[in-house]
Chain A
Amino acid sequence: EVKLLESGGGLVQPGGSLRLSCETSGFTFSSYAMTWVRQAPGKGLEWVAVISGSGGSRYHAASLRRRFTISRDKSKNTVSLQMNGLRAEDTAVYYCARSRGSEHEALDSWGQGTLVTVSS
């Protein structure tokens, strides 16, 4: 069974940093691209970043590229999202999702999400 479990969310002050983690199990980690998607309260889905199965390719939403960085650790079957310079508009539930294969595939498994609240 494919499992994705996000952690690392919480309350952070504007300008602060957080590192989200997504622990995976139940599949061959290196064979799948992994994606972060976020959803602000009451809003729609926003794609954040994707990293290829090998980790050799990564893409970030242009508006977040200078502050957010996606990475993966094959020894721990974990994908992470480092978020710096957080702003109130970054407040959202952050979901980790597995692509069906490459970065250009649908997202077939999702975690339950972790809430990030940016507020003073």
Chain B
Amino acid sequence: DIQMTQSPSSLSAYVGDRVTITCRATESIGSHLSWYQQKAGKAPKLLIYAASSLQSGVPSRFSGSGSGTDFTLTISSLQPEDSTTYYCQQSFSMPLTFGAGTKVEIK
């Protein structure tokens, strides 16, 4: 199985800061990488698919990059409503696997 390692597990930043979350796969997954945002008590929401494509309706401050084994999710200017948990997921091979999540907090 492909394991997805997210880092950091949590971070704290100021409103307006640039925030980067990384996700590393144990083998190459091409661009089959997605990022999700999950707020407490809610279903996850797709932010980025195919490593770098912005899902419709998602603010442009979110971006994704990477291919192969190393990927990043960047929030260019952190907003208060971005304070929540983020997950990556590979869809290259079964079983599809999620990272453990990154909790983003506002200082």
A residues neighboring B (CB under 8 Å): 35, 37, 44-47, 50, 59, 61-62, 95, 97, 99-100, 103-108, 110-113
Contact = CB atoms under 8 A, between A and B. Distances in A.
A106 B89 contact: yes
Contact of A95 (B43, B46, B95, B101): B43
A46 to B, nearest CB: 7
B44 A110 contact: yes
Nearest to A113: B43
Nearest to A57: B94
27 contacts: A37-B44, A44-B98, A44-B100, A45-B36, A45-B44, A45-B89, A45-B101, A47-B89, A47-B95, A47-B97, A47-B98, A50-B94, A50-B96, A61-B95, A62-B1, A100-B49, A103-B94, A105-B49, A105-B91, A106-B89, A107-B34, A107-B36, A107-B46, A107-B89, A108-B55, A111-B43, A113-B43
- B: contact size bracket: 20 to 34
Contacts of B49: 100, 105-106, 108
Which of A35, A46, A47 has its CB near the most chain B CB atoms (within 10 A)?
A47
Contacts, number: 61
Given A44-B87, A59-B94, A62-B95, A112 B44 contact: no
